[in-house]
Structure 1
Amino acid sequence: MTGPGLDLALTVPGRLDVALRADPGEVLAVIGPNGAGKTTLLHALSGLVPAAGHARLGDRELLAQPVRERRVGLVFQDQVLFPHLSALENVAFGLRARGTPRARAREAAAAWLERVGLAELAGRRPSQLSGGQAQRVAIARALVTEPALLLLDEPMAGLDVGVAADLRVELRRHLADFGGVAVLVTHDALDALTLATRVVVLEGGRVAQEGPPEEVAARPRTEHVARLVGLNVVRREGRLAAFRPSDVTLSLEQPVGSARLVWHGPVRTLAPHGDAVRVQVAARPDLIADVTPLAARDLGLEPGVEVWLAVKATAVATYATDDPA
C-alpha cells in the first residue's frame, strides 16, 4: 500500500533549519558530521524535540498532532526495548497503546517476528537476545503499526560487521515493501549507498547537498562526505580536489613530473583494506593511499616512515564546495 508523501520546513533554534520533500516509497539517507542536526531532525519529526515550521505527511500536519497519533515508526541505534517484556510483547506494544485488542496485537506481532526470522524467540526478553536479534525486534515493533513515516537512527551502529551486513540486507527488503517515507540517519556510507533512494547531507543544521546516492558519492560537495565515501579531498582556493586512494602512488623519494600533485609526510597507520593495504599519511591534510601488500613490504612501510604521495592530475576531480569554511 502506498502512503502519503512528506513535505517539511523545520526550525529548531541553533540546531536545525531544514526544508525537504519526499515521495511515498522514498528512503532518505541523512548524513553529515557530528552535530550537523541529523538526530535533531528525527526527534523533531517524532515529537521528541519541539520545532517550528511545518511537517505535512499527506494532508496531516505532524506538528499539530500528539506523538501517539503521528503514525511514525521509530528505530533507534540502541533498540530501546522494554526489558521486562518478551520480544512478542515488545512488538505488540505499539498496537496495544493504540487500543488494538490484545489477541489481535499479539497475532500481528507474531507475524512480524516470523518475517524477521525470530518466531522461535518470541518468548525471550531483550537481555536474552543478541544485538542483531534485538534490532530486528525493534524494526518489527516499528513496522507492525503500519506507520506512514519510518525513522531509523543509526540502526546498524554497534553491531558486528557480519551482523550489520545481514541486517542491512534484511532492512533493504523491508524498505522495498514499505509504502511510506523512510528517513535513515547513518554515519556509514554503505548504508546510504545501498539503502537510500536519495541522500541528504546536513552541515550546521542545514542542507548542504541532496541527490541520488551515486551522484552524491561521485561529486561530494563537503569534505565530510568526500571522506565518508572513501575519497581523498584537498581544499584549493574555495574548491575541492578529490581523488581515490587507489590513484595515489607512494614512494620514499620525491617524485618528478609536472603533471602530478605531490605531498609529503610520515605514515600514521596501516590497515588491511580488501586485497590492499590502506596507508594513512599525515600530509597536511591527512591522505590515504591503497597499495599492494608487496609494495608495503618493499617500501618498509610502518608508522613514522616518511613517504611521498603523488597523484596524476588527470585522476583528480576539482569542483566547487558548499562547505561554509
Structure 2
Amino acid sequence: MADHLVTGSEEALSGPGRATGPGLHARVRVPGRLDAEVTAAGGSVVAVIGPNGAGKSTLLGALAGTTAMAGEVEVGGRSWTAPPLAVRHRRVGLVFQDQSLFPHLSALENVAFGLRARGRARTPARARAQEWLDRLGVGELAARRPRQLSGGQAQRVAIARALATEPELLLLDEPFSGLDVGVATALRIELARHLADFAGVALLVTHHALDALTLADEVLVLDGGRVAQTGTPRDVAAHPLTDHVARLVGLNVVVDADTNRSFPPSAVTVSLRAPEGSARNRWRASVLSVVPHGDAVRLLARTDGAQELIADVTPEAAVELGLDPGREVWLTVKETSVRTYPRTASMRP
C-alpha cells in the first residue's frame, strides 16, 4: 500500500490573495525504486526531501513523463496517464541543478524554445521570453549564450524558461545546488516571489532545510522509495521521524517501539566513563568524526546499537577528552531535554 501525502485544502494552503490553479493527484510506482501517493492543491509548494537514493528525482521524472512508471497522474482533473499523455503535451516546467540550457541558443531563445514548441509564433514567443528574463533580473543578458553566463545567471534563465510556458506543474530539482551562498540566497528570495504568484503545483527537491522552511507550504519526506513523513515545514522540523530529516534540522532522533524521541546536540553530555545511576538516555558509542561547528565542536558517534548521534562540545572539552575518530565514549541526555512524539507518517492534527 503506497504512503499518502495530503497537502491540505486549497483555501488553507493558498492563503489570502495567493494564486490557485490546477491541483495534483498522483500515485507513482516505479518497481524497486518508488511507491508513493501525492495530492497537492493548486498554488502550493511541496518540498521533497530525503537521503540519496530515496526516490526524489524518480518522482519528478515520473510526473514529467521522462521516467517509466505504473500508476496514475492527474493534474487539474485531467489524467496524464490514462491514456498516456506525451511529454511534450504535459504542461510541466522543469528546472535542474545543472540548468540544462541549450548551449547553441541565446538566453532569449532558450526561454522562447518551450513557447515555440507549443505553437507560439516567433515574435510573440521572443517577446514573452524577454518579459520573463526581465522579471528574473537578467533581461540585459538575453543575447548571451549559456557559456557566457555565471551559474546564478544561468539558473535564472532556466527558471524563466520553466515559468514562461505557464505550466500546471513546476518541478525543481535542487535549483540552488552548486551556487555560492550569496547567489543562492538571492535566487531563493527571487524564486519565493515568483512561487507566491504561481497558480499551479510546485515540487521542490532539496537537501537544505532552509529551502523547505522558506519556500514550501508542505514537506514530503521520502526514504527507501516510500513516504516517511509529511506535514508543514515547522511540524516536520520540530518532530523529525527519520535520521536524514533530524540531521537537516540539527536534531537527534531515537526510535522506540511506537514513539520518537528527539533532542538537540547541545543537550548531549560526552564522557569517557560510564555514567553513574540508571539514566534511561545513555549510550556507549564510538566517535566517527569531529568537526568545528560555530563556536563548538560537533561530534558524530555511532552507538553499540548502530544509532548515529551528534553532540556539541566546547573545543576545550574536545581536547581534554581526546575526541578523535575511533575514541570510545559515553553519551547521556537528561530526560527533561527530550521531546517525545508518536511514530506517524503525517504530523497534521
TM-score of the pair, normalised by structure 1: 0.90
Match of 1:142 in 2: 162
Which of 9, 19, 22 is matched with 1:4 structurally?
22
Q: From the superposition, tell whether residues 38 and 215 of structure 1 become closer, same or farther in structure 2 (CA, over 3 Å).
A: same
Whether contact under 8 Å (1:243, 1:315) holds in the other structure is yes
**Gap regions ≥5 residues in structure 2:** 1-18
Partner SS, residue 213 of structure 2: helix
- Matching of residues 189-268 of structure 1 within 5 Å: 189-237=209-257, 239-259=259-279, 261-268=281-288
Match of 1:51 in 2: 69
Kindly state the Cα deviation for residue 266 of structure 1 after the two structures are TM-superposed.
4.4
Partner SS, residue 103 of structure 1: helix
Whether contact under 8 Å (1:222, 1:321) holds in the other structure is no
- In structure 1, distance between residues paired with 2:325 and 2:148: 42
Whether contact under 8 Å (1:222, 1:322) holds in the other structure is no
- In structure 2, distance between residues paired with 1:169 and 1:97: 30
Match of 1:26 in 2: 44
- In structure 1, distance between residues paired with 2:184 and 2:291: 21
- Matching of residues 17-166 of structure 1 within 5 Å: 17-63=35-81, 64-166=84-186
- In structure 1, distance between residues paired with 2:186 and 2:283: 40
Which of 245, 269, 279 is matched with 2:289 structurally?
269
Q: From the superposition, tell whether residues 44 and 250 of structure 1 become closer, same or farther in structure 2 (CA, over 3 Å).
A: same
Match of 1:309 in 2: 331
- In structure 2, distance between residues paired with 1:269 and 1:43: 35
Partner SS, residue 187 of structure 1: coil
> What letter corresponds to residue 105 of structure 2 in structure 1?
L
Whether contact under 8 Å (1:269, 1:281) holds in the other structure is yes
Whether contact under 8 Å (2:23, 2:77) holds in the other structure is no
Whether contact under 8 Å (1:241, 1:316) holds in the other structure is yes
**Gap regions ≥5 residues in structure 1:** none
- In structure 1, distance between residues paired with 2:119 and 2:164: 14
- In structure 2, distance between residues paired with 1:251 and 1:53: 52
Kindly state the Cα deviation for residue 302 of structure 1 after the two structures are TM-superposed.
4.3
Q: From the superposition, tell whether residues 266 and 59 of structure 1 become closer, same or farther in structure 2 (CA, over 3 Å).
A: closer
- In structure 1, distance between residues paired with 2:181 and 2:89: 36
- In structure 2, distance between residues paired with 1:51 and 1:255: 53
Q: From the superposition, tell whether residues 35 and 266 of structure 1 become closer, same or farther in structure 2 (CA, over 3 Å).
A: closer
Q: From the superposition, tell whether residues 121 and 298 of structure 1 become closer, same or farther in structure 2 (CA, over 3 Å).
A: farther
**Identical aligned pairs, as a percentage?**
65
Match of 2:4 in 1: none
Whether contact under 8 Å (1:36, 1:205) holds in the other structure is yes
Kindly state the Cα deviation for residue 79 of structure 1 after the two structures are TM-superposed.
0.9
> What letter corresponds to residue 193 of structure 2 in structure 1?
R
Q: From the superposition, tell whether residues 322 and 211 of structure 1 become closer, same or farther in structure 2 (CA, over 3 Å).
A: closer
Partner SS, residue 25 of structure 1: coil
- In structure 2, distance between residues paired with 1:9 and 1:303: 44
> What letter corresponds to residue 191 of structure 2 in structure 1?
L
- In structure 2, distance between residues paired with 1:14 and 1:299: 45
Partner SS, residue 256 of structure 1: coil
Partner SS, residue 92 of structure 1: helix
Query: What is the CA deviation profile of residues 114-157 of structure 1, one whole-angstrom value per residue up to 9, with x for unaligned ones?
Result: 22121222222111222222111111110011111101111122
Query: What is the CA deviation profile of residues 298-322 of structure 1, one whole-angstrom value per residue up to 9, with x for unaligned ones?
Result: 5554445544322101212334446
- In structure 2, distance between residues paired with 1:268 and 1:142: 42
- Matching of residues 283-298 of structure 1 within 5 Å: 283-284=303-304, 285-296=307-318
Whether contact under 8 Å (1:37, 1:202) holds in the other structure is yes
Match of 2:340 in 1: 318
Deviating more after overlay: 284-293 vs 241-250: 284-293
Provide the aligned C-alpha RMSD in A.
Answer: 2.3
- In structure 2, distance between residues paired with 1:45 and 1:283: 40
Kindly state the Cα deviation for residue 218 of structure 1 after the two structures are TM-superposed.
1.4
Q: From the superposition, tell whether residues 2 and 261 of structure 1 become closer, same or farther in structure 2 (CA, over 3 Å).
A: closer
**How many residues matched?**
323
Whether contact under 8 Å (1:240, 1:321) holds in the other structure is yes
Kindly state the Cα deviation for residue 15 of structure 1 after the two structures are TM-superposed.
2.4
